[in-house]
Structure 1
Amino acid sequence: MKLMKIGIDKIGFATSDLYLDMVDLANARHEDPNKYLIGIGQSKMAVIRPTQDVVTMAAAAAKKIICQEDKEKISYVIFATESGVDNSKSAAIYLADLLGLKLNIRTIEVKQACYGATAALQLAKGYVALNPESKVLVIGADNARYGVKTPGEPTQGGGAIAMIIGSDPKILELENETSAYAKNIMDFWRPLGHSKALVDGKYSSGVYLDFLKNVWDEQLKRTNYQLQDYGALLFHLPYTKMGLKGLRQILQDATAEDSTRLIREFEYARQFNCEVGNLYTGSLYLSFLSLLVNSTSIKSGDRIGFFSYGSGAQAEFFTGILQPDYQKGLAGVDYWAILNKRQSVSVIEYEDLFERHVFDIENIELDYQADKSAFLLAGIHNYKRKYLSR
C-alpha cells in the first residue's frame, strides 16, 4: 500500500513596499553600521504602512500562489500571528473574505509567539491526513514592533508567508518524526493592550540555543539521522545572526564537508530575511523560501531540517524531503524583482510611519492613496476594520 505524502504544495510571500536601510538607522542611532550589518546580520528592515496589517499582507502573499483549483479545495484556513487585529474574531475569516474563498470552510487563528506557523503546519498535516482531497491554507504573518530607539529596534520588520498544505505536495513532503520542547519562561511577551513587544534580548538568545540543543539531541535519538543526511538546516531568524549562532552550535563536531555544505545553504537561506527583518511567525518559512529561490545546489530528495522557536517558550525540530517539482510550487514569482522595487524611506519617515500604526482605535479614516497594494486597510468604524481589495 502506497503511503500518502503530505506537505507544502505551494509557498508565497509578501511584505511592505517600503524599507529602511540599516546603515541609515545605525548612523541615526550613533552606532557603527557593522553592528547591524554583521553583528545582527541585517541589511534592510521592512517598514509597514498604517494602511497595511497582517490581514492585508497575508492576502497579498496568498494571492501570489492560489489558483481557482486551490480555492475549490481549500477547506481550512489557519492564521498564525502574534499581531492579531481582534481578541475574538480570527484574522483568518477576514482573509478568507478578501480572497473570495468558499463559505463552507473552517477559519481559525493560532498563537504561540514565533512558533505559531509551525503549530498551524502540523495541524494542517493532521487535517489533510483525515481529508486527503482537501487543502489547508496556512499563514504566518506579523508586524514585528519593539519601539523607536529601543534595543530591539534593529530587529523589527514584517510581512507574511502563505503555504498551501495538501497531499502529493509539489515542494516538500513532511516526515513524521518530530521533537518538541516547551517551558514557561519570560524571555519575550506582549501584554494585553500593548502594540509593542517586551523582550529580555540576551536571555532570549540563550533560551533559543538551549531549546535548539534539546530538540536537536532528541531528534538524533529518534531518527539516527546525522549531519550528512541533511541537505540544509533552517532556523527561526528573529535576526539572521541568531540562526548562524544556532548552526555553529550544531556544527561543533562536524566534518569539514558537512560544515561547508550546511553553512553554504544557510547563507542562501538567510538572503530574504536580511532584506526584510523579523517576520515572527513567518521567519522560518521565509528562510525556506529564500533557500528554494537562491540555492544553486539543493536538489530533489534532499532532507531539509527545520528548527522552529517561539518565545515563552516553545520549540520543535522537524524534517521534510524536497520534491522533484519544488520549483513549480513557487508559482513563477520573481521575489528579487519585488524586493528590488521597494522604496527606501528616511529614518524620520520610518519613525512617523511607526507612530501612525493603527492600534486600539475606535474610528479612523486612513489615507491609502499612496499605497498601491492589492489589499488595504481603509479605516476603522466603531472598532470594525474596513478592508479594500483592488
Structure 2
Amino acid sequence: MNIGIDKIGFAAPSYVLDLADLALARQIDPNKFKVGLLQSEMAVAPITQDIVTLGAQAAAAILTDEDKAAIDMVIVGTESSIDQSKAAAVFLHQLLDIQPFARSIEIKEACYGATAGLSLAKSHIAQFPHSKVLIIASDIAKYGIASGGEPTQGAGAVAMLVTADPSIMILNNDNVCQTRDIMDFWRPNYDKYPRVDGKFSTEQYTDCLTTTFDYYVEKTGKSLADFAAMCLHIPFSKQGLKGLQAICHQDEETLNRLTERFHEAIVYNKVVGNIYTGSIFLSLLSLLENSQSLKTGDAILFYSYGSGAVCEIFSGTLVEGYRNQLLTDRLDQLNARKRLDVTEYEAIFFEEIKLDEAGNAIDLPLDDTPFALQNIEQHKRIYRKN
C-alpha cells in the first residue's frame, strides 16, 4: 500500500518585518542577514494568533467536508505549546469541525515533532487504510529583542493530510533516525525564551546530518545522486545550505543540481523565518510550488533535526498530478502581508495578554483573521472561527 502526503497547506501571520530594517535598527550590516543567513523577512504574530489559530488556518485551506468525515487522528507537532496538559490538537479538532470519533494528540521534540507524527500517521493508515490523518506543524519562534537569534525568528503552520494512495507524495519506508542527549537548544519551563548554544547547535546539526546520512547510505544503498532534490530543516536558510554541502562535497555535478533545487526550496522560508517543526515542510511546499524541474517519479530526500537532539532522514516520491494540489500565487499572498517598522514590531513582540484576578483577559484586541483567540475566561482560551 502506498501511503503519503495527499494535501499540504500553509498559513503565516498577517504581519511581516523586513530584516534590512531590523539590521539598520540594530546597527548591523543588512548583508549579515540577507547573505550571511540567507534570510530576507520575518513573520510576526500578534497575541491573538498562536499555534492553534495558525494551524487551523493552514488546515482549513486544504480540507473538504469529506476529509473531515474521514479524519480519525489529528497530530500537532510544536514546541510553542499553549498548555502544559491539553493538546493543541483538541482545540483544532473542534475548530475544524472534524468528526468526533478521532484521536487528537500533541508531539514535542523541538523542531522534529511533526516528522515523528508522519511515522505515526503512516502506521495508522497501514492498519486502517480508509482513515485519514491530519498533521499540523505549528510554531512561533521568539528569541528576544537584540538577541543573536532575533533575525531567525518567525511564525507559521504547515498542515498535511496523510492518506493511502496520496495525491502529492508517497512516503518511502527508508527512515533512519538518531538520538543524542545534548544541550544545544532548550527551553526550561521557567524561561520565556529558549536558551541556545549557537555554535554548538550548528555543529550538531551538521554532525547529526553527516553521521545519519552515512548510516542511511549503509542501510539503503542509496546515494545523493538518486534524488532530484533535498529538503532540510531550516532554522535559517544558510544552515540548510551548509548541511547540503557537508554531505555532497565530493560530487560537484550532484551538488550543483541539488543546490539549484535548494534555492527553490527556501523561497518561502526566506520570507517567513524559522517555524521550528514546520520549517522542513515549508521548504517542501516551496520546492513543489517553485520548481519547474521536478517531475512525477522524482525522489526527494529529507533531513529533519530537532535540537536536544533527534534527527531523521527519509525520502518521498512524487506521484502523477501532484501539481494539481498546489497553489501558484502563494508568494503573492505572502507579499500582501502588512509590513511593520521596527517600532511596531517591538510593540507586538512585548505585548502580553493581561488577566484579572479571576483569569479573564483584559482588553484583548479584536482580530478579523479566519481564526483568532477571542477571549480568555477563567483561564480558558476561547477561539473564534469567522
The CA deviation at 1:360 is 9.1
The answer to whether the 8 A contact 2:77-2:135 is kept is yes
Q: TM-score, normalised by structure 1?
A: 0.96
- Selected match of 1:337 from 332, 335, 347: 332
What SS does the corresponding residue of 2:134 show, helix, strand or coil? strand
SS in 1 for 2:7: strand
Name the aligned partner's letter for residue 269 of structure 2: N
**Whole-Å Cα distance in 2 between the matches of residues 366 and 151 of structure 1?**
33
> How many pairs align?
384
Are 1:62 and 2:62 an aligned pair?
Answer: no
- Alpha-carbon separation, structure 2, partners of 1:125 and 1:77: 13
Q: Of residues 214, 221, 225 in structure 1, which corresponds to 2:222?
A: 225
Match of 1:103 among 96, 100, 113: 100
Residue number in structure 1 paired with 2:280: 284
Q: Does residue 185 of structure 1 match 2:182?
A: yes
Give the match's secondary structure for 1:299. Answer: coil
Q: Where does structure 2 lack aligned partners over 5 or more consecutive residues?
A: none
1:178 Cα shift?
A: 1.2
Q: Give, in whole Å, the separation in 2 of the partners of 1:88 and 1:155.
A: 29
Pairing 1:9-24 to 2, within 5 Å after superposition: 9-24=6-21
Aligned: 1:352 with 2:347 = yes
Deviation sequence 1:308-360 (CA, Å, 0-9, x none): 00000000000010111212233x46311210110110111111101114499
Aligned to 2:47: 50
Structure 1 gaps of 5+ residues are: none
The letter of the residue matching 1:52 is: Q
Shift of 1:145: 0.7
AA aligned opposite 1:145 = K
Contact 2:70 2:99 survives alignment (8 Å): no
1:386 shift after superposition: 1.1
Query: Given the alignment, which residue of 148, 153, 159 partners 1:151?
Result: 148
Amino acid at match of 1:141: S
* SS in structure 2 of the partner of residue 376 of structure 1: strand
Deviation at 1:173, TM superposition (A): 0.3
Distance 1:86-1:220 versus aligned 2 partners, 3 A rule? same
Matched, 1:112 2:109: yes
- Flag the 1:226–1:366 CA change in 2: closer, same or farther, 3 A: farther
CA pair 360-199 structure 1, distance change in 2 beyond 3 A: farther
Cα deviation for residue 198 of structure 1 reads: 1.2
Instruction: Find 1:87's aligned residue among 84, 88, 108.
Output: 84
Q: CA deviation at 1:220?
A: 0.6
Any conservation in 2 of the 1:9–1:171 contact (CA below 8 Å)?
yes
- Cα distance in 2 for partners of 1:178, 1:100 equals 33
1:374 and 2:370 aligned: yes
Kept in 2, the 8 Å contact 1:80–1:138? The answer is yes
8 Å contact kept, 1:8–1:164: yes
Distance 1:359 1:307, change over 3 A: farther
- Does the aligned pair in 2 maintain the 1:366–1:377 contact within 8 Å? no
Deviation at 1:367, TM superposition (A): 4.0
Q: Which position in structure 1 is the counterpart of 2:305? A: 309
Contact between 2:269 and 2:283, CA under 8 Å: does it hold in 1? yes
For residue 161 of structure 2, what is the aligned residue in structure 1? 164
Identical aligned pairs, as a percentage? Answer: 46
Letter in 2 for 1:350: Y
DSSP-derived class of the 1:20 partner? strand
